[in-house]
Amino acid sequence: GAGVSQSPSNKVTEKGKDVELRCDPISGHTALYWYRQSLGQGLEFLIYFQGNSAPDKSGLPSDRFSAERTGGSVSTLTIQRTQQEDSAVYLCATGLAGGQETQYFGPGTRLLVL
Amino acid sequence: AQSVTQLDSQVPVFEEAPVELRCNYSSSVSVYLFWYVQYPNQGLQLLLKYLSGSTLVESINGFEAEFNKSQTSFHLRKPSVHISDTAEYFCAVRDFGNEKLTFGTGTRLTIIP
């Protein structure tokens, strides 16, 4: 596709359930990033992939959060045993690696944990 | 970058008036600087970026930002705003050698007709 796509666009889940969020990057983009946008915290970095490896996982808030990327393409962010404080918009961005390169953002997945 | 500060969470401006959205950052290394915009019900889009060279950078829709190293600032300005500029604006910083963006908390620009 022309842009970064994310699915689902909205997800409502019950506390304690696991959720998976998907990101489809722009074709050819080797770098992939996950961010979280929440009312209290603003936009926070979660994890960065270069190809299938994740050299920077420093933003993952707890061990309930994990992510993988396969084939240098699609990425999945998994949150286990969701908590109410996990409610946020999860944004995926992709680009070419390198500090000067632009990160292109997807529309996000709005997660609500009840 | 250790932090990015956008002091104004909301800025109301009359149509055709000038506006300045402030951004300051702190970092122990050199940085790249970005402004992203989020229009209502849309995703984040890059507005403009400073990488090197001229400290004044411009966007295609009339915004400009100036990198001031001594003041560690990257304020965004537009001489005359339009209704269509209503959006939330995020300043972001990326350290040399680092991949992640550190964002400010955003400034919601509201244009008053």
Nearest-CA distance A114 → chain B (Å): 23
Mean pLDDT of A4-8: 96
* pLDDT of A75 above 70: yes
Q: Do B100 and A91 touch (CB under 8 A)?
A: no
Looking at this protein, which amino acid is placed at residue A34? W
pLDDT in the model for residue B81 = 97
| Domain A1-7+25-99 grouped into CATH 2.60.40.10 | yes
Domain locations along chain B: 3-112
Facing residue for B43 by CB, picked from A100, A102, A106:
A106
Interval A16-30 mean pLDDT: 96
Q: Identify all chain B residues contacting A107, using CB atoms and an 8 Å cutoff.
A: 42-43
Which chain B residues are Cβ-neighbours of A58 within 8 angstroms? 100
Q: Domain B3-112 belongs to what topology?
A: Immunoglobulin-like (2.60.40)
Whether A97 has its CB under 8 Å from any CB of chain B: the answer is yes
pLDDT along chain B (113 residues), means of 10: 90 97 93 94 92 91 95 97 96 91 95 95
Please state the three-class secondary structure of A9-68 as a single string.
CEEEECCCCCEEEEEECCCCCCEEEEEEEECCCEEEEEEEEECCEEEECCCCCCCCEEEE
Of all residues in chain B, what percent carry a pLDDT higher than 70?
Answer: 99
Chain B positions in Cβ-Cβ contact with residue A104 (cut-off 8 Å):
46
**A41 pLDDT band (50/70/90 cuts)?**
confident
Q: How far apart are CA B97 and CA B26, in angstroms?
A: 16
Give me the pLDDT at residue B1, please.
63
Q: Which residue from B minimizes the CA distance to A36?
A: B103
Q: What is the pLDDT of residue A1?
A: 54
